[in-house]
Amino acid sequence: MPPKKSFPLRIDPKLHEALAHWAADEFRSVNAHIEFLLREAARKAGRLPGAGRKGGDEGENHKDQ
């Protein structure tokens, strides 16, 4: 696996706080949780290579772990 790409991310402090609480609930770091959320969004949008858009799962509340 190639090394991960690093880049600075500027976000609102209140959003960071919400992400930190959410990440803690999921036993992830904030960084890992942001990556998880972005990957899930890209997968649902059919933007990841080899990952098609899943019909009907928009708005469903479930974990894919």
pTM: 0.71
**Considering only CA atoms, which of 24, 44, 42 is closest in space to residue 33?**
24
Q: Each residue of 25-52: pLDDT tens digit?
A: 999 999 999 999 999 999 999 998 876 5
**Considering only CA atoms, which of 38, 27, 53, 50 is closest in space to residue 5?**
38
- If you average pLDDT over every residue of the chain, what do you get? 84
Specify the pLDDT at position 49.
82
| 3, 1, 50, 53: CA torsion to nearest 10 | -50
